Amino acid sequence: AQSVTQLDSQVPVFEEAPVELRCNYSSSVSVYLFWYVQYPNQGLQLLLKYLSGSTLVKGINGFEAEFNKSQTSFHLRKPSVHISDTAEYFCAVSDIQGAQKLVFGQGTRLTINP
Amino acid sequence: KAGVTQTPRYLIKTRGQQVTLSCSPISGHRSVSWYQQTPGQGLQFLFEYFSETQRNKGNFPGRFSGRQFSNSRSEMNVSTLELGDSALYLCASSLSGAGTEAFFGQGTRLTVV
């Protein structure tokens, strides 16, 4: 079984400040890793994904994440946030083959203050 | 191209009733998966269909069921609704399965009263 822990339920930051949203996972097999963003009353949008290769992954809207296999982490970072980044962020894992099944963390609510 | 379409967007049902939610995937996508999102439990996987076959199922009671049609459109059904079934139900489509990007619809907000 797989599980995902997002270490912060809420993260308030000031506009133009850097931010890191933390994610740790547990799995007995190799996994793919994802970060999704959810804006109010919307579905989920993929920010970035790690399938293989370089452990530093760049995504949309200036976000990036680093896969650390030894620490089983996949933290999301952005060097300078904007008001429009206010949303809920979800880390997720999936098996590397078979059905499309994502296991999500509980989410981190990112609030950007002016 | 058109995204994932879920209908209806909002539903209010009474305890004991049943409900059917619909999901139209992106053209060419053969995998459709369903998730339940609640404030307490977060996002939980319900089931996934690929080419009309259920490939995986989450830990939900048998009141939750689904199906997929030959055009890849999918429906999920919840029978004998309970108050705890109130949630946002999200559908995602992808080309095949694990490793291919899942595109999510806007969801159906179900309220059980």
A2-37 per-residue burial string, b: 16 or more CB within 10 A, e: under 16: bebebeeeebebeeeeebebbbbbebeeebbbbbbb
The model's pLDDT over B50-109, given as tens digits with 9 standing for 90+, comes to 999 999 999 999 999 999 999 999 999 999 999 999 999 999 999 988 878 899 999 999
Chain A interface, mutation test: which of B43, B47, B93, B100, most A Cβ atoms within 10 Å? B43
Distance from CA of A46 to the nearest CA of B (A): 8
User: What pLDDT sits at residue B13?
Assistant: 98
Q: Name the residue among A32, A44, A90 with its Cβ closest to that of B98.
A: A32
Separation of alpha carbons A71 and A47, rounded Å = 22
CB-nearest partner of A100 from B4, B94, B105: B94
For the stretch A61-102, pLDDT in tens is 999 999 999 999 999 999 999 999 999 999 999 988 878 899
Three-state DSSP at B78 gives: strand
Question: How confident is the model at residue A100, as a pLDDT?
Answer: 86
pLDDT at B1 over 80: no
pLDDT at residue B96, as a whole number: 86
pLDDT at A41: 82
Question: Quick one: which of B74, B18, B8 has its CA closest to B46?
Answer: B74
Closest CA to A75 of A20, A7, A4: A20
pLDDT of residue B69: 97
A13 or A42, higher pLDDT = A13
A114 and chain B in contact, CB less than 8 A: no
CB pairs under 8 A, 24+ apart, for A47-53?
A47/A76, A47/A89, A48/A76, A49/B101, A50/A74, A51/A96, A51/B99
Mutate to test the interface with B, among A101, A102, A106, A109 (most CBs of B within 10 A): A101
Query: By three-state DSSP, how is residue B83 classified?
Result: helix
Residues of A in contact with B98 (CB under 8 A): 32, 94-101
